[in-house]
Amino acid sequence: MSKFSYIESDNSEGATMAAGGSPVPSLADAYKNGYFINPTIFTEVKDSMRICHEEIFGPAVVVAFSSEEAIQCANDTTSGLGTAVFTRDLERAHRVAAEIEAGIGWVNSSQDCDPRIPFGGVKQSGIGGELGEAGLEVYTQIKAVHCNIAVNI
């Protein structure tokens, strides 16, 4: 599905596109079907809109004006790969990140990962955790074998 179809549907559903939403000018002809678009910011998004319920995998964000609004919008979906919270209030950021149902969370950043820490989604996002010790456990099965080494058996 083209990223532009999300932009068009959100505009028709009543969201306000505050920025972006157009092809990257230098790539407009080569990728007119939506492979590369400028970062897009939506405001006035309602829970019923597609952008609130589907993973876009493109440079589009929904601006929430309260923590509760952000948590409700993020959790009222079948996906939960990751969440990024941007704020100067770190206590608030950690509370919101903890309440959002996602496999990974970022505070004041996005997409940076440490290979020692598992990465994976919840709900219908991804296929489980990868990376780190916890990610390796998915591919292992513990088995205990007890051995009696007494002389007289």
Q: Where are the domains of the chain?
A: 1-65, 70-152
Q: Tell me the DSSP string of the chain.
A: --HHHHHHHHHHHT-EEEE--SB-GGGTTTTTTTTSB--EEEES--TTSGGGTS---SSEEE--SSHHHHHHHHHSSS--SEEEE--S-HHHHHHHHHHS--SEEEES--S---TTS-B--STTSSSS-BSHHHHHHTT-----------S--
Read off the pTM.
0.69
Inter-axis angle of helices 67-75 and 90-99, nearest 10: 20
Mean pLDDT (whole number) for 68-85: 88
pLDDT band at 10 (very low <50, low <70, confident <90, very high): low
Q: Mean pLDDT score of the chain, rounded to an integer?
A: 81
Mean pLDDT (whole number) for 94-123: 88
pLDDT band at 135 (very low <50, low <70, confident <90, very high): confident
Instruction: Quote the tokens at residue 5.
Output: 């179809």
Higher pLDDT, 117 or 67: 67
Mean pLDDT (whole number) for 71-97: 91
Higher pLDDT, 29 or 145: 145
